[in-house]
Chains A and B, each alone.
Chain A
Amino acid sequence: MNFAEEWSAFWRLFYTNGGYKRVFSEGLKNTLIIAILGLVIGIVIGTLIAAVKVMPKYKTLPRVLNAVCNIYVSFFRGTPIVVQLLLAYYVLFPLMGISIGSLNTCILIFGLNSGAYVSEIMRAGIQSVDSGQMEAGRALGLGFYPTMLKIVVPQAVKNILPTLGNEFIALIKDTSVVSFVAAVDLYKVFTEMGNVNYEYLAPYLMMALIYIVLIMMITLLFKLLEKRMKRGERA
Protein backbone atom coordinates (compact mmCIF):
# COMPACT_ATOMS: atom_id res chain seq x y z
CA MET A 1 0.00 0.00 0.00
CA ASN A 2 1.39 3.35 -0.89
CA PHE A 3 0.90 6.42 1.26
CA ALA A 4 -2.03 7.79 -0.78
CA GLU A 5 -3.98 4.59 -0.30
CA GLU A 6 -3.03 4.41 3.34
CA TRP A 7 -4.12 7.96 3.84
CA SER A 8 -7.47 7.45 2.09
CA ALA A 9 -8.08 4.32 4.19
CA PHE A 10 -7.31 6.32 7.31
CA TRP A 11 -9.47 9.21 6.15
CA ARG A 12 -12.40 6.86 5.72
CA LEU A 13 -11.96 5.70 9.28
CA PHE A 14 -11.27 9.14 10.64
CA TYR A 15 -13.78 11.27 8.79
CA THR A 16 -16.31 9.30 6.77
CA ASN A 17 -16.94 6.69 9.46
CA GLY A 18 -17.00 9.34 12.16
CA GLY A 19 -13.81 8.30 13.98
CA TYR A 20 -13.02 11.96 14.63
CA LYS A 21 -15.95 12.12 17.00
CA ARG A 22 -14.20 9.71 19.32
CA VAL A 23 -10.91 11.55 18.88
CA PHE A 24 -12.43 14.74 20.16
CA SER A 25 -15.07 13.47 22.59
CA GLU A 26 -12.78 10.96 24.29
CA GLY A 27 -9.14 11.26 23.28
CA LEU A 28 -8.62 15.00 23.18
CA LYS A 29 -11.10 15.59 25.98
CA ASN A 30 -9.35 13.22 28.38
CA THR A 31 -5.92 14.51 27.40
CA LEU A 32 -7.02 18.06 28.18
CA ILE A 33 -8.87 17.09 31.37
CA ILE A 34 -5.83 15.28 32.75
CA ALA A 35 -3.41 18.05 31.78
CA ILE A 36 -5.54 20.99 32.93
CA LEU A 37 -6.76 19.48 36.20
CA GLY A 38 -3.26 18.09 36.74
CA LEU A 39 -1.80 21.57 36.35
CA VAL A 40 -4.41 23.11 38.66
CA ILE A 41 -3.74 20.52 41.37
CA GLY A 42 -0.03 20.94 40.68
CA ILE A 43 -0.16 24.71 41.15
CA VAL A 44 -2.06 24.39 44.42
CA ILE A 45 0.30 21.73 45.81
CA GLY A 46 3.36 23.46 44.36
CA THR A 47 2.48 26.81 45.91
CA LEU A 48 1.90 25.18 49.29
CA ILE A 49 5.24 23.37 49.14
CA ALA A 50 7.05 26.50 47.97
CA ALA A 51 5.48 28.41 50.87
CA VAL A 52 6.78 25.79 53.28
CA LYS A 53 10.24 26.01 51.73
CA VAL A 54 10.54 29.77 52.08
CA MET A 55 8.96 29.88 55.56
CA PRO A 56 11.20 31.14 58.36
CA LYS A 57 12.42 28.03 60.16
CA TYR A 58 12.69 29.05 63.80
CA LYS A 59 10.03 26.67 64.99
CA THR A 60 9.67 22.90 64.81
CA LEU A 61 6.54 22.68 62.68
CA PRO A 62 7.99 24.37 59.58
CA ARG A 63 11.03 22.11 59.83
CA VAL A 64 8.91 18.96 59.95
CA LEU A 65 6.78 20.20 57.06
CA ASN A 66 9.93 20.99 55.15
CA ALA A 67 11.25 17.45 55.61
CA VAL A 68 7.93 15.98 54.46
CA CYS A 69 7.94 18.22 51.38
CA ASN A 70 11.50 17.20 50.57
CA ILE A 71 10.55 13.53 50.60
CA TYR A 72 7.50 14.24 48.46
CA VAL A 73 9.44 16.23 45.90
CA SER A 74 12.30 13.75 45.67
CA PHE A 75 9.87 10.85 45.16
CA PHE A 76 7.83 12.49 42.45
CA ARG A 77 10.80 13.95 40.65
CA GLY A 78 12.88 10.84 41.13
CA THR A 79 10.55 8.33 39.51
CA PRO A 80 9.05 8.32 36.00
CA ILE A 81 5.40 9.22 35.81
CA VAL A 82 4.62 5.81 34.29
CA VAL A 83 6.00 4.14 37.40
CA GLN A 84 3.88 6.40 39.58
CA LEU A 85 0.76 5.63 37.54
CA LEU A 86 1.39 1.88 37.65
CA LEU A 87 2.14 1.94 41.37
CA ALA A 88 -0.98 3.91 42.13
CA TYR A 89 -3.37 2.10 39.82
CA TYR A 90 -2.24 -1.51 40.18
CA VAL A 91 -0.63 -1.59 43.61
CA LEU A 92 -1.47 1.18 46.05
CA PHE A 93 -5.11 1.90 45.32
CA PRO A 94 -6.18 -1.78 45.16
CA LEU A 95 -4.29 -2.39 48.41
CA MET A 96 -6.04 0.50 50.08
CA GLY A 97 -9.35 -0.54 48.59
CA ILE A 98 -9.79 2.69 46.69
CA SER A 99 -11.34 2.49 43.24
CA ILE A 100 -11.66 5.86 41.59
CA GLY A 101 -11.34 4.77 37.98
CA SER A 102 -8.41 5.15 35.65
CA LEU A 103 -9.15 8.72 34.54
CA ASN A 104 -9.34 10.02 38.10
CA THR A 105 -6.19 8.14 39.03
CA CYS A 106 -4.44 9.82 36.13
CA ILE A 107 -5.67 13.27 37.14
CA LEU A 108 -4.51 12.70 40.71
CA ILE A 109 -1.10 11.33 39.80
CA PHE A 110 -0.48 14.02 37.19
CA GLY A 111 -1.46 16.62 39.77
CA LEU A 112 0.84 15.16 42.42
CA ASN A 113 3.64 14.83 39.91
CA SER A 114 3.38 18.34 38.56
CA GLY A 115 3.04 19.63 42.13
CA ALA A 116 6.61 18.52 42.73
CA TYR A 117 7.86 20.37 39.67
CA VAL A 118 5.73 23.45 40.18
CA SER A 119 6.98 23.71 43.77
CA GLU A 120 10.52 24.17 42.51
CA ILE A 121 9.39 26.61 39.82
CA MET A 122 7.41 28.57 42.39
CA ARG A 123 10.26 28.60 44.89
CA ALA A 124 12.62 29.93 42.25
CA GLY A 125 9.99 32.54 41.36
CA ILE A 126 9.60 33.63 44.97
CA GLN A 127 13.34 33.85 45.40
CA SER A 128 13.66 35.87 42.20
CA VAL A 129 11.61 38.65 43.78
CA ASP A 130 13.91 41.22 45.37
CA SER A 131 14.19 40.59 49.10
CA GLY A 132 13.58 44.31 49.65
CA GLN A 133 9.92 43.75 48.75
CA MET A 134 9.47 41.38 51.67
CA GLU A 135 11.47 43.70 53.95
CA ALA A 136 9.36 46.70 53.03
CA GLY A 137 6.17 44.80 53.79
CA ARG A 138 7.49 43.53 57.09
CA ALA A 139 8.78 46.98 58.07
CA LEU A 140 5.26 48.36 57.63
CA GLY A 141 3.98 45.86 60.19
CA LEU A 142 2.53 43.29 57.79
CA GLY A 143 3.16 39.70 58.78
CA PHE A 144 5.12 37.16 56.76
CA TYR A 145 2.08 35.55 55.13
CA PRO A 146 0.17 38.71 54.18
CA THR A 147 3.33 40.13 52.62
CA MET A 148 3.93 36.88 50.78
CA LEU A 149 0.38 36.75 49.50
CA LYS A 150 -0.09 40.38 48.53
CA ILE A 151 3.38 41.41 47.40
CA VAL A 152 5.78 38.58 46.71
CA VAL A 153 3.65 35.82 45.17
CA PRO A 154 1.94 38.06 42.57
CA GLN A 155 5.36 39.20 41.37
CA ALA A 156 6.70 35.65 41.49
CA VAL A 157 3.80 34.33 39.40
CA LYS A 158 4.46 36.95 36.77
CA ASN A 159 8.12 35.93 36.64
CA ILE A 160 7.43 32.21 36.34
CA LEU A 161 4.60 32.39 33.81
CA PRO A 162 6.79 31.27 30.87
CA THR A 163 8.13 28.35 32.91
CA LEU A 164 4.63 27.44 34.00
CA GLY A 165 3.59 27.38 30.35
CA ASN A 166 6.45 24.99 29.73
CA GLU A 167 5.25 22.76 32.55
CA PHE A 168 1.76 22.72 31.05
CA ILE A 169 3.12 21.71 27.65
CA ALA A 170 5.19 18.95 29.23
CA LEU A 171 2.09 17.74 31.08
CA ILE A 172 0.01 17.57 27.90
CA LYS A 173 2.65 15.51 26.18
CA ASP A 174 3.13 13.28 29.21
CA THR A 175 -0.53 12.33 29.09
CA SER A 176 0.33 10.04 26.18
CA VAL A 177 1.34 7.41 28.74
CA VAL A 178 -2.02 7.15 30.46
CA SER A 179 -3.00 4.14 28.37
CA PHE A 180 -0.67 2.18 30.69
CA VAL A 181 -3.47 2.31 33.21
CA ALA A 182 -6.29 1.86 30.72
CA ALA A 183 -7.26 5.48 30.35
CA VAL A 184 -8.29 6.64 26.89
CA ASP A 185 -6.36 9.59 25.51
CA LEU A 186 -5.32 10.77 22.05
CA TYR A 187 -2.65 8.10 21.75
CA LYS A 188 -5.08 5.33 22.65
CA VAL A 189 -7.74 6.47 20.19
CA PHE A 190 -5.34 6.73 17.27
CA THR A 191 -3.68 3.41 18.07
CA GLU A 192 -7.07 1.74 17.99
CA MET A 193 -7.70 3.37 14.61
CA GLY A 194 -4.40 1.96 13.39
CA ASN A 195 -5.28 -1.47 14.75
CA VAL A 196 -8.16 -1.72 12.27
CA ASN A 197 -5.86 -2.07 9.24
CA TYR A 198 -2.57 -2.55 11.07
CA GLU A 199 -1.43 0.68 9.41
CA TYR A 200 -0.15 3.25 11.89
CA LEU A 201 1.60 5.89 9.80
CA ALA A 202 -1.40 8.02 8.92
CA PRO A 203 -3.11 7.86 12.34
CA TYR A 204 0.08 8.73 14.16
CA LEU A 205 0.81 11.61 11.77
CA MET A 206 -2.67 12.94 12.47
CA MET A 207 -2.05 12.52 16.20
CA ALA A 208 1.21 14.47 15.95
CA LEU A 209 -0.62 17.21 14.06
CA ILE A 210 -3.26 17.51 16.77
CA TYR A 211 -0.61 17.68 19.50
CA ILE A 212 1.29 20.37 17.63
CA VAL A 213 -1.78 22.51 17.04
CA LEU A 214 -2.82 22.08 20.67
CA ILE A 215 0.56 23.14 21.97
CA MET A 216 0.80 26.08 19.60
CA MET A 217 -2.51 27.30 20.94
CA ILE A 218 -1.29 26.97 24.52
CA THR A 219 1.92 28.81 23.70
CA LEU A 220 -0.14 31.63 22.23
CA LEU A 221 -2.41 31.68 25.28
CA PHE A 222 0.51 32.01 27.69
CA LYS A 223 2.08 34.72 25.52
CA LEU A 224 -1.13 36.73 25.69
CA LEU A 225 -1.32 36.19 29.45
CA GLU A 226 2.25 37.37 29.87
CA LYS A 227 1.61 40.47 27.80
CA ARG A 228 -1.45 41.28 29.86
CA MET A 229 0.42 40.97 33.13
CA LYS A 230 3.28 43.12 31.88
CA ARG A 231 0.93 45.85 30.71
CA GLY A 232 -0.19 46.42 34.28
CA GLU A 233 3.19 47.61 35.45
CA ARG A 234 3.95 50.02 32.66
CA ALA A 235 0.71 51.96 32.75
Chain B
Amino acid sequence: MSNKENQIKTVPEIKDDEIIVIKGLCKSFHIGKKTLNVLKNIDYVIHKNEKIAIIGPSGSGKSTFLRCLNCMEDPTSGSIYFDGEDIADIHVDINKHRENIGMVFQQFNLFNNKTVLQNIMLAPVYLKTKKAGGIFAKAAVKKQIKKEAEETAMNLLRRIGLEEKANVYPSTLSGGQKQRIAIVRALAMNPKVMLFDEPTSALDPEMVGEVLDLIKELAAEGMTMVIVTHEMGFAREIADRVLFMDGGVISEDAPPQELFNNPKNPRTKEFLSKVL
Protein backbone atom coordinates (compact mmCIF):
# COMPACT_ATOMS: atom_id res chain seq x y z
CA MET B 1 0.00 0.00 0.00
CA SER B 2 2.76 2.43 0.96
CA ASN B 3 4.51 1.47 -2.22
CA LYS B 4 1.47 2.51 -4.21
CA GLU B 5 1.28 5.89 -2.50
CA ASN B 6 4.95 6.50 -3.14
CA GLN B 7 4.49 5.72 -6.78
CA ILE B 8 1.65 8.14 -7.19
CA LYS B 9 3.54 10.90 -5.45
CA THR B 10 6.46 10.68 -7.83
CA VAL B 11 4.35 11.55 -10.87
CA PRO B 12 6.24 14.32 -12.61
CA GLU B 13 4.56 17.50 -13.53
CA ILE B 14 2.45 16.93 -16.59
CA LYS B 15 1.27 19.85 -18.65
CA ASP B 16 -2.41 20.20 -19.42
CA ASP B 17 -2.03 19.44 -23.07
CA GLU B 18 -0.02 16.28 -22.52
CA ILE B 19 -2.26 13.25 -22.43
CA ILE B 20 0.21 10.36 -22.34
CA VAL B 21 3.78 10.79 -21.16
CA ILE B 22 6.10 7.86 -21.73
CA LYS B 23 9.39 7.73 -19.88
CA GLY B 24 12.12 5.12 -20.30
CA LEU B 25 9.74 2.49 -21.61
CA CYS B 26 11.39 -0.90 -22.06
CA LYS B 27 9.79 -4.18 -23.01
CA SER B 28 11.51 -7.50 -23.34
CA PHE B 29 10.16 -10.94 -24.04
CA HIS B 30 11.72 -14.14 -22.82
CA ILE B 31 11.76 -16.89 -25.37
CA GLY B 32 13.36 -19.90 -23.77
CA LYS B 33 16.67 -18.71 -22.42
CA LYS B 34 16.91 -15.84 -24.88
CA THR B 35 15.77 -12.37 -23.98
CA LEU B 36 14.36 -10.30 -26.77
CA ASN B 37 14.48 -6.57 -26.18
CA VAL B 38 11.60 -5.23 -28.22
CA LEU B 39 11.42 -1.70 -26.87
CA LYS B 40 14.58 0.05 -25.79
CA ASN B 41 14.15 2.98 -23.46
CA ILE B 42 11.52 4.99 -25.29
CA ASP B 43 10.61 8.53 -24.19
CA TYR B 44 7.69 10.21 -25.83
CA VAL B 45 4.92 12.65 -25.14
CA ILE B 46 1.51 12.46 -26.77
CA HIS B 47 -0.39 15.74 -26.69
CA LYS B 48 -4.11 16.26 -26.68
CA ASN B 49 -5.79 16.15 -30.11
CA GLU B 50 -2.61 14.89 -31.69
CA LYS B 51 -2.80 12.22 -34.39
CA ILE B 52 0.27 10.08 -34.37
CA ALA B 53 1.03 7.48 -37.00
CA ILE B 54 3.63 4.83 -36.29
CA ILE B 55 5.30 3.18 -39.24
CA GLY B 56 8.23 0.84 -39.52
CA PRO B 57 9.32 -2.59 -40.65
CA SER B 58 7.82 -5.68 -39.03
CA GLY B 59 9.53 -6.64 -35.81
CA SER B 60 10.46 -3.03 -35.11
CA GLY B 61 8.30 -2.99 -31.99
CA LYS B 62 5.58 -0.64 -33.23
CA SER B 63 2.69 -2.86 -32.24
CA THR B 64 4.30 -3.67 -28.91
CA PHE B 65 4.77 0.03 -28.27
CA LEU B 66 1.09 0.67 -28.97
CA ARG B 67 0.01 -2.24 -26.81
CA CYS B 68 2.14 -0.95 -23.95
CA LEU B 69 0.19 2.31 -23.98
CA ASN B 70 -2.83 0.61 -22.42
CA CYS B 71 -0.79 -2.13 -20.78
CA MET B 72 -2.10 -4.93 -22.97
CA GLU B 73 1.59 -5.76 -22.74
CA ASP B 74 3.03 -5.05 -19.32
CA PRO B 75 6.08 -2.83 -19.71
CA THR B 76 9.26 -4.42 -18.37
CA SER B 77 10.41 -1.07 -17.02
CA GLY B 78 9.70 2.60 -17.43
CA SER B 79 6.62 4.68 -16.82
CA ILE B 80 3.53 5.66 -18.74
CA TYR B 81 1.66 8.57 -17.21
CA PHE B 82 -1.99 8.88 -18.05
CA ASP B 83 -4.62 10.75 -16.08
CA GLY B 84 -2.14 11.55 -13.32
CA GLU B 85 -1.08 7.99 -12.64
CA ASP B 86 1.72 5.73 -13.79
CA ILE B 87 -0.29 3.00 -15.50
CA ALA B 88 2.84 0.91 -15.98
CA ASP B 89 2.79 0.41 -12.21
CA ILE B 90 1.27 -2.98 -11.46
CA HIS B 91 -0.52 -1.62 -8.38
CA VAL B 92 -2.53 0.88 -10.37
CA ASP B 93 -6.04 -0.21 -11.33
CA ILE B 94 -5.50 -0.51 -15.05
CA ASN B 95 -9.15 -1.28 -15.86
CA LYS B 96 -10.19 2.18 -14.74
CA HIS B 97 -7.73 3.74 -17.21
CA ARG B 98 -8.50 1.38 -20.04
CA GLU B 99 -12.05 2.72 -20.03
CA ASN B 100 -10.55 5.98 -21.26
CA ILE B 101 -8.21 4.44 -23.80
CA GLY B 102 -10.07 2.91 -26.72
CA MET B 103 -8.33 0.23 -28.69
CA VAL B 104 -9.02 -1.18 -32.14
CA PHE B 105 -7.37 -4.42 -33.20
CA GLN B 106 -6.16 -5.78 -36.48
CA GLN B 107 -8.43 -8.80 -36.12
CA PHE B 108 -11.50 -6.72 -35.05
CA ASN B 109 -12.13 -8.98 -32.05
CA LEU B 110 -15.86 -8.44 -31.88
CA PHE B 111 -17.45 -10.68 -29.26
CA ASN B 112 -18.71 -13.65 -31.27
CA ASN B 113 -21.37 -14.62 -28.77
CA LYS B 114 -23.00 -11.20 -28.71
CA THR B 115 -25.03 -9.31 -31.27
CA VAL B 116 -23.66 -6.08 -32.71
CA LEU B 117 -25.75 -4.01 -30.32
CA GLN B 118 -24.72 -6.14 -27.33
CA ASN B 119 -21.10 -5.81 -28.41
CA ILE B 120 -21.33 -2.05 -28.17
CA MET B 121 -23.46 -1.95 -25.02
CA LEU B 122 -21.70 -4.61 -22.97
CA ALA B 123 -18.82 -2.65 -21.48
CA PRO B 124 -20.65 0.66 -20.83
CA VAL B 125 -23.61 -1.12 -19.22
CA TYR B 126 -21.46 -3.42 -17.11
CA LEU B 127 -19.10 -0.73 -15.89
CA LYS B 128 -21.80 1.85 -15.18
CA THR B 129 -23.91 -0.72 -13.36
CA LYS B 130 -20.87 -1.73 -11.35
CA LYS B 131 -20.31 1.86 -10.31
CA ALA B 132 -23.98 2.16 -9.39
CA GLY B 133 -23.63 -0.77 -7.01
CA GLY B 134 -23.37 -3.87 -9.18
CA ILE B 135 -26.08 -6.46 -8.59
CA PHE B 136 -27.38 -4.38 -5.68
CA ALA B 137 -28.14 -1.42 -7.89
CA LYS B 138 -31.77 -0.46 -8.08
CA ALA B 139 -33.71 -1.97 -10.96
CA ALA B 140 -34.77 1.48 -12.16
CA VAL B 141 -31.15 2.65 -12.23
CA LYS B 142 -30.10 -0.44 -14.15
CA LYS B 143 -32.90 0.10 -16.63
CA GLN B 144 -31.90 3.72 -17.09
CA ILE B 145 -28.25 2.77 -17.68
CA LYS B 146 -29.29 0.17 -20.22
CA LYS B 147 -31.59 2.58 -22.00
CA GLU B 148 -28.93 5.26 -22.25
CA ALA B 149 -26.34 2.77 -23.49
CA GLU B 150 -28.74 1.50 -26.10
CA GLU B 151 -29.43 5.01 -27.31
CA THR B 152 -25.72 5.77 -27.57
CA ALA B 153 -25.11 2.49 -29.35
CA MET B 154 -27.91 3.07 -31.85
CA ASN B 155 -26.68 6.60 -32.52
CA LEU B 156 -23.20 5.27 -33.16
CA LEU B 157 -24.54 2.58 -35.46
CA ARG B 158 -26.65 5.13 -37.32
CA ARG B 159 -23.56 7.23 -37.76
CA ILE B 160 -21.75 4.41 -39.57
CA GLY B 161 -24.94 3.45 -41.40
CA LEU B 162 -25.24 -0.01 -39.88
CA GLU B 163 -28.30 0.40 -37.67
CA GLU B 164 -30.10 -2.40 -39.50
CA LYS B 165 -27.31 -4.75 -38.37
CA ALA B 166 -27.94 -4.04 -34.69
CA ASN B 167 -29.35 -7.47 -33.91
CA VAL B 168 -27.18 -9.71 -36.02
CA TYR B 169 -24.14 -11.66 -34.89
CA PRO B 170 -20.65 -10.61 -36.05
CA SER B 171 -20.13 -13.80 -38.08
CA THR B 172 -22.55 -12.47 -40.71
CA LEU B 173 -20.70 -9.19 -41.29
CA SER B 174 -17.98 -8.26 -43.74
CA GLY B 175 -14.52 -7.33 -42.51
CA GLY B 176 -15.08 -3.65 -43.11
CA GLN B 177 -18.36 -3.68 -41.22
CA LYS B 178 -16.76 -5.57 -38.33
CA GLN B 179 -13.93 -3.10 -38.04
CA ARG B 180 -16.25 -0.10 -38.14
CA ILE B 181 -18.32 -1.67 -35.40
CA ALA B 182 -15.17 -2.39 -33.41
CA ILE B 183 -14.31 1.30 -33.70
CA VAL B 184 -17.71 2.49 -32.50
CA ARG B 185 -17.60 -0.09 -29.72
CA ALA B 186 -14.48 1.64 -28.46
CA LEU B 187 -16.13 5.04 -28.99
CA ALA B 188 -19.11 4.04 -26.85
CA MET B 189 -16.83 4.32 -23.82
CA ASN B 190 -16.09 7.97 -24.67
CA PRO B 191 -12.34 7.43 -24.64
CA LYS B 192 -9.81 10.23 -24.38
CA VAL B 193 -7.38 8.44 -26.65
CA MET B 194 -7.86 5.88 -29.38
CA LEU B 195 -5.21 3.31 -30.22
CA PHE B 196 -5.38 1.61 -33.60
CA ASP B 197 -3.28 -1.48 -34.13
CA GLU B 198 -3.04 -1.91 -37.91
CA PRO B 199 -6.79 -1.40 -38.30
CA THR B 200 -6.87 -2.16 -42.03
CA SER B 201 -4.28 -4.91 -42.37
CA ALA B 202 -6.76 -7.77 -42.15
CA LEU B 203 -9.24 -6.23 -44.58
CA ASP B 204 -9.96 -6.89 -48.22
CA PRO B 205 -8.59 -4.00 -50.28
CA GLU B 206 -12.04 -2.75 -51.26
CA MET B 207 -13.03 -2.41 -47.59
CA VAL B 208 -10.02 -0.45 -46.47
CA GLY B 209 -11.58 2.81 -47.65
CA GLU B 210 -14.69 2.70 -45.48
CA VAL B 211 -12.64 2.04 -42.34
CA LEU B 212 -10.10 4.75 -43.12
CA ASP B 213 -12.93 7.21 -43.80
CA LEU B 214 -14.35 6.59 -40.35
CA ILE B 215 -10.95 7.08 -38.73
CA LYS B 216 -10.47 10.29 -40.72
CA GLU B 217 -13.83 11.50 -39.49
CA LEU B 218 -12.75 10.88 -35.91
CA ALA B 219 -9.51 12.68 -36.57
CA ALA B 220 -11.41 15.69 -37.91
CA GLU B 221 -13.47 15.75 -34.72
CA GLY B 222 -10.30 16.16 -32.73
CA MET B 223 -9.91 12.72 -31.18
CA THR B 224 -6.41 12.03 -29.93
CA MET B 225 -5.15 8.93 -31.65
CA VAL B 226 -2.18 6.72 -32.16
CA ILE B 227 -2.24 4.55 -35.24
CA VAL B 228 0.11 1.79 -36.24
CA THR B 229 -0.35 1.50 -39.98
CA HIS B 230 1.08 0.36 -43.26
CA GLU B 231 -1.11 2.79 -45.21
CA MET B 232 1.47 5.48 -45.97
CA GLY B 233 -0.97 7.69 -47.88
CA PHE B 234 -3.35 7.61 -44.96
CA ALA B 235 -0.59 8.38 -42.46
CA ARG B 236 0.50 11.33 -44.56
CA GLU B 237 -3.03 12.62 -44.82
CA ILE B 238 -4.20 12.55 -41.21
CA ALA B 239 -1.14 12.40 -38.98
CA ASP B 240 0.29 15.40 -37.17
CA ARG B 241 3.44 13.47 -36.49
CA VAL B 242 4.80 10.29 -37.97
CA LEU B 243 7.07 8.05 -35.95
CA PHE B 244 9.41 5.72 -37.73
CA MET B 245 10.33 2.85 -35.46
CA ASP B 246 13.20 0.52 -36.05
CA GLY B 247 14.89 -1.99 -33.77
CA GLY B 248 12.90 -0.99 -30.70
CA VAL B 249 13.56 2.73 -30.80
CA ILE B 250 11.86 5.71 -32.39
CA SER B 251 14.48 6.49 -34.97
CA GLU B 252 12.68 9.38 -36.61
CA ASP B 253 9.87 11.61 -35.45
CA ALA B 254 8.66 14.36 -37.75
CA PRO B 255 5.57 15.87 -39.35
CA PRO B 256 4.45 13.74 -42.31
CA GLN B 257 5.57 16.10 -45.11
CA GLU B 258 9.04 16.22 -43.68
CA LEU B 259 9.35 12.53 -42.91
CA PHE B 260 7.98 11.35 -46.24
CA ASN B 261 9.65 13.99 -48.42
CA ASN B 262 13.07 14.24 -46.85
CA PRO B 263 13.71 11.57 -44.33
CA LYS B 264 16.89 12.23 -42.39
CA ASN B 265 17.59 8.76 -41.09
CA PRO B 266 19.10 6.43 -43.72
CA ARG B 267 17.01 3.55 -42.36
CA THR B 268 13.85 5.58 -42.90
CA LYS B 269 14.93 6.35 -46.43
CA GLU B 270 15.51 2.70 -47.13
CA PHE B 271 12.14 1.70 -45.65
CA LEU B 272 10.24 4.39 -47.54
CA SER B 273 11.93 3.53 -50.81
CA LYS B 274 10.63 -0.01 -50.40
CA VAL B 275 7.05 0.78 -49.44
CA LEU B 276 6.28 3.90 -51.46
Contacts and interface: CB of A to CB of B under 8 A. Distances in A.
A155 B107 CA distance: 17
A139 B72 contact: yes
Residue of A136, A138, A146, A233 with highest tally of chain B CB at under 10 A = A136
Given A58-B90, A233-B171, A234-B171, A140 B186 contact: yes
B126 A142 contact: yes
Q: Is the interface of A mostly helix, strand, loop or mixed?
A: helix
Given A140-B98, A141-B95, A233-B171, A154 B113 contact: yes
Contacts of A158: 113
Nearest to B171: A233
Contact of B127 (A130, A135, A141, A232): A141
Interface string B90-133: 10000111111111010111111110000000110011000000
B105 A132 contact: yes
Given A135-B72, A233-B171, A141 B96 contact: yes
Nearest to A141: B99
B137 interface: no
A150 B97 CA distance: 21
Interface string A159-195: 0000000000000000000000000000000000000
B126 A235 contact: no
Contacts of A141: 95-100, 123, 127, 189
B229 interface: no
Contact of B113 (A58, A139, A142, A151): A151
Contacts of A132: 105, 107-109
Nearest to B124: A140
Contacts of B111: 133, 136-137, 151
Contacts of B96: 141
Nearest to B110: A136
A232 B109 CA distance: 18
A143 interface: yes
B72 A235 contact: no
B95 A136 contact: no
Residue of B110, B112, B182 with highest tally of chain A CB at under 10 A = B112
Given A133-B112, A135-B105, A140 B169 contact: no
Contacts of B126: 142, 146, 150
B95 A150 contact: no
Given A155-B113, A234-B171, A142 B105 contact: no
A133 B96 CA distance: 19
A92 B177 CA distance: 60
A142 B127 contact: yes
A199 B189 CA distance: 73
B262 interface: no
B71 to A, nearest CB: 9
Contact of B168 (A58, A151, A235): A235
Contact of A235 (B70, B100, B109, B169): B169
A25 B196 CA distance: 63
Contacts of A235: 167-169
Residue of B102, B105, B122, B189 with highest tally of chain A CB at under 10 A = B122
Given A58-B90, A141-B96, A141-B99, A136 B109 contact: yes
Contacts of A155: 112-113
Interface in A116-164: 130, 132-133, 135-143, 146, 150-151, 154-155, 158
A150 B123 CA distance: 10
A63 to B, nearest CB: 16
Contacts of B186: 139-140
Interface string B60-100: 00000000001010000000000000000010000111111
Contact of B112 (A138, A142, A233): A233
A135 B67 CA distance: 10
18 contacts: A132-B109, A136-B103, A136-B105, A136-B109, A136-B111, A137-B111, A138-B98, A140-B98, A140-B185, A141-B97, A141-B100, A141-B123, A141-B127, A154-B113, A155-B112, A233-B112, A233-B171, A235-B167
Given A132-B108, A141-B100, A155-B113, 16 more contacts: A136-B103, A136-B110, A136-B111, A138-B98, A139-B70, A139-B98, A139-B101, A140-B98, A141-B95, A141-B98, A141-B189, A142-B126, A150-B122, A154-B113, A233-B113, A235-B169
Interface of B: 70, 72, 90, 95-103, 105, 107-114, 122-123, 126-127, 167-169, 171-172, 182, 185-186, 189
- Which 5 pairs from chain A and chain B are nearest by CB? A141-B99, A136-B109, A140-B123, A132-B109, A139-B103
